[in-house]
Amino acid sequence: MCGIVGYTGINNVGGILLKGLKRLEYRGYDSAGVAIVENNGIYVQKTKGRIRELDEDDFPNGNVGIGHTRWATHGKPSDENAHPFSDCTGEFAVVHNGIIDNFVTLKEELIKKGHEFTSETDSEVIAHLIEENYQGDLVETLKNIVGMLRGSYAICAVQKDSNRIVIARDQSPLVIGVGVDENLIASDVPAVLDYTNEVKYLEDGDVAEISSNGVHIWDSLGNAVERETVEIDWNLEDAEKGGYEHYMLKEIYEQPKAIHDSLLGRLVEFNDVDFKQYDTRFIRIISCGTSYHAALVGKYIIEEIAKIPCTAELASEYRYSSPSEYLPFTILISQSGETADTIAAAKEAKQRGCKTMAITNVMNSSITREVDEVIYTQAGPEIGVAATKTFTTQLIVLYLIAMELGLNNNKLLRENAQDYRDELRRLPRHVKVLLDQSEDIRKVCEKLVDADDIFFVGRNINYPVALEGALKLKEIAYIHSAGYPAGELKHGPFALLTENTPVVAILVKDHTFEKMLGNIGEIAARSSPIIAVGDHDKELKKLSDKLITIPSVPPMFSPILVNVVLQLLAYYTAYELDCAIDKPRNLAKSVTVE
């Protein structure tokens, strides 16, 4: 969602800005623009549409500039609403990510003072506020005006005749890439990695000034502060397609490694968090989207292994719920660590007095600063908008947490823990077996591509996997699909079942298998095509139009394997339908607004 890049240094800036913006394309956008500080002015070019529609030949030479990809919130995608924005005098240019909640009031006041606006956006008020409040020093001006803004922001501003970029952040990601004779800024690390692997993460409320040879940072109280320089230990190749047609497919295929890396150093002894220092008699897991589905699976895992009552809640609901007297140990799951609703939920949980822990894939992401403890998933960078390997590694971490909690409260016997460890160790191999069958799975998509509606059903621990399968399909193949607990179909959705409504059914040999077989029989009686995913069974084979079997594992570990099949089904269906798999319409990789 919205991407920012900025550069100040000894090189010509135009190409650097375009390259940086392209590295952020995965975040999703609908318009793009750049501002380049040139002799005696600031050149601005912006357009609705793709980055390639910007005309680089028209860019002036310059060593300082900022660029932006916009994902529309206030005002439709258009040339006028694209960033950067200038003030009335053309002295400043600004890009902004986030949302300014009080922009209407600010805009009315500025209009009364004679400012003329060119867009419908909330962001434009920032350029005019700078002009209105400027008293000779852009850093001081920005420090002053961020106090007037309500909402979330990452702001970058440049000024005529200056080699500085002045930036501020609150609840929207912004990193500084620290180079030699050059410094960069970006919404995410891939945009600076061509130039440096050393970055500084700003904290909420920070304002900073960047020039070719210096970085100065002030905290929300105005005190000069140092922020640690972190060395990034993955390179651009890790974040590139490596021969696969789409990032999503590459990331699906990376899952054996992602599982392996997430288990590394954690199986024999789990030292990431000392749970004994917390009250973990009741657990709540909060998250959004795919991470919420991981949370739902996590509920089953924790209740089964550690016998601890656990709830899974959507972040956007939790934050507006009524506080209760229970103070559960609260786990926030967010791949990006930047999801606005999940960050707000983390703050809310803390405010209510809960101990909090984040599970995230991104080092030093915003959520890590809001919680008492952090566990990293170690999936490596995920670029495709649809979450795949990060879901799998979130589950891996949840298994590890459940085992640790179970050992601590003596609900998990040591010998059973050893069996679980062995199962976890075998998972990368099992996933590989499924990936090797991808051509067979691909053929099944013929049964899905022409459908307008598809149901995904499962029970118990595989019910959330059905939800995730349906989300993946609607997200990338644009086919309406609904995940259901199989037992609920007869309470309404049965009315929709026809020979044109395929049902993807998950059946593993757990205590719900027979009930599931009964459900499949009922669905078959309504003539819906059935694609079964799960364990081999003669009766199931007879009832279903196609059975995709997974390697044999204890039911508790089946979600990881079943989900890989559902990922491939979604991918190949979207592929057949020629959809924009890595950048589905209207979606962004990290949702940094409410």
- Our CB check for ligand F6R shows the closer of 363 and 496 to be 363
Sheet strands side by side (includes 546-549) = 480-485, 453-458, 503-507, 530-534, 546-549
How many residues lie near ligand F6R (CB under 6 A)?
Answer: 15
Which positions from 449 through 478 interact with ligand F6R, judged by CB under 6 A?
A: 471, 475
The secondary structure of residue 266, as a DSSP letter, is T
* Residue 55, both tokens: 């005309």
Helix (H) or strand (E) holding 348: helix 340-351
Tell me the β-bridge partners of 315.
none
Task: Rule CB under 6 A: say whether 387 interacts with ligand F6R.
Answer: yes
Please, what is the minimum distance in Å from the beta carbon of residue 475 to ligand F6R?
5
Task: Rule CB under 6 A: say whether 172 interacts with ligand F6R.
Answer: no
- Our CB check for ligand F6R shows the closer of 291 and 392 to be 291
Mode of pairing for the β-strands spanning 356-360 and 329-334: parallel
Which positions from 261 through 290 interact with ligand F6R, judged by CB under 6 A?
A: 288-290
Task: Rule CB under 6 A: say whether 386 interacts with ligand F6R.
Answer: yes
| Among 234-242, 276-284, 332-340, 424-432, the segment contacting ligand F6R (CB under 6 A) | 332-340
Amino acid in position 128: H
Amino acid in position 220: S
Tell me the β-bridge partners of 7.
65, 184
Please, what is the minimum distance in Å from the beta carbon of residue 292 to ligand F6R?
7
Of 212, 339, 460, 501, the one binding ligand F6R by CB under 6 A: 339
Rounded to whole angstroms, the Cα distance separating 371 from 380 reads 22
Helix (H) or strand (E) holding 259: helix 255-263
Please, what is the minimum distance in Å from the beta carbon of residue 472 to ligand F6R?
6
Please, what is the minimum distance in Å from the beta carbon of residue 571 to ligand F6R?
12
Rounded to whole angstroms, the Cα distance separating 60 from 57 reads 8
Q: Which residues of 578-594 are buried (b: 16+ CB within 10 A; e: fewer)?
A: ebebbbbeebbbbbbbb
In the chain, what is the greatest distance between 2 CA atoms, to the nearest angstrom?
A: 80
- Are 350 and 326 a contacting pair, CB within 8 Å? no
Of 187, 197, 460, 590, the one binding ligand F6R by CB under 6 A: 590
- Our CB check for ligand F6R shows the closer of 165 and 249 to be 249
Please, what is the minimum distance in Å from the beta carbon of residue 51 to ligand F6R?
22
Please, what is the minimum distance in Å from the beta carbon of residue 476 to ligand F6R?
8
| Among 165-173, 336-344, 349-357, 431-439, the segment contacting ligand F6R (CB under 6 A) | 336-344
* Residue 293, both tokens: 């589905």
- Our CB check for ligand F6R shows the closer of 402 and 591 to be 591
- Our CB check for ligand F6R shows the closer of 4 and 386 to be 386
- Are 342 and 334 a contacting pair, CB within 8 Å? yes
- Our CB check for ligand F6R shows the closer of 122 and 188 to be 188
Catalytic positions, please? 2, 589
Task: Rule CB under 6 A: say whether 584 interacts with ligand F6R.
Answer: no
Rounded to whole angstroms, the Cα distance separating 178 from 226 reads 13
Task: Rule CB under 6 A: say whether 123 interacts with ligand F6R.
Answer: no
Please, what is the minimum distance in Å from the beta carbon of residue 457 to ligand F6R?
20
Task: Rule CB under 6 A: say whether 66 interacts with ligand F6R.
Answer: no
Phi, psi (degrees; rounded to nearest 5) at 152: -130, 150
Rounded to whole angstroms, the Cα distance separating 486 from 412 reads 30
Please, what is the minimum distance in Å from the beta carbon of residue 337 to ligand F6R?
7
Rounded to whole angstroms, the Cα distance separating 589 from 580 reads 14
Secondary structure of residue 40 in the 3-state scheme: coil
> C-alpha angle 461/440/293, rounded to 5°?
25
Of 97, 334, 366, 393, the one binding ligand F6R by CB under 6 A: 334
Task: Rule CB under 6 A: say whether 582 interacts with ligand F6R.
Answer: no
Rounded to whole angstroms, the Cα distance separating 392 from 387 reads 9
- Our CB check for ligand F6R shows the closer of 280 and 336 to be 336
Please, what is the minimum distance in Å from the beta carbon of residue 125 to ligand F6R?
27
Closest residue to ligand F6R, based on beta-carbon distance: 289
- Our CB check for ligand F6R shows the closer of 193 and 340 to be 340
- Our CB check for ligand F6R shows the closer of 93 and 259 to be 259
Please, what is the minimum distance in Å from the beta carbon of residue 478 to ligand F6R?
14
Task: Rule CB under 6 A: say whether 202 interacts with ligand F6R.
Answer: no
- Our CB check for ligand F6R shows the closer of 6 and 584 to be 584
Task: Rule CB under 6 A: say whether 368 interacts with ligand F6R.
Answer: no
Other Cβ atoms closer than 10 A to 394: 29
Task: Rule CB under 6 A: say whether 345 interacts with ligand F6R.
Answer: no
| Among 78-86, 109-117, 330-338, 488-496, the segment contacting ligand F6R (CB under 6 A) | 330-338
- Our CB check for ligand F6R shows the closer of 121 and 335 to be 335
Task: Rule CB under 6 A: say whether 342 interacts with ligand F6R.
Answer: yes
Task: Rule CB under 6 A: say whether 332 interacts with ligand F6R.
Answer: no
**Tokens 């867009």 -> residue:** 119
SS3 per-residue string spanning 445-500: HHHCCCCCEEEEEECHHHHHHHHHHHHHHHHHHCCEEEEEEHHHHHHCHHHHCCCC
Other Cβ atoms closer than 10 A to 223: 8
Q: Is 378 left (phi over 0), alpha (psi -120 to 50) or beta?
A: left
Please, what is the minimum distance in Å from the beta carbon of residue 99 to ligand F6R?
16
Task: Rule CB under 6 A: say whether 481 interacts with ligand F6R.
Answer: no
Cα(first)–Cα(last) distance of the chain, in Å? 12
Phi, psi (degrees; rounded to nearest 5) at 458: -160, 175
The CA radius of gyration of the chain, in Å to the nearest whole number, is 25
| Among 54-62, 186-194, 334-342, 558-566, the segment contacting ligand F6R (CB under 6 A) | 334-342
Binding residues (CB under 6 A) for ligand F6R: these are: 288-291, 334-336, 339, 342, 386-387, 471, 475, 590-591
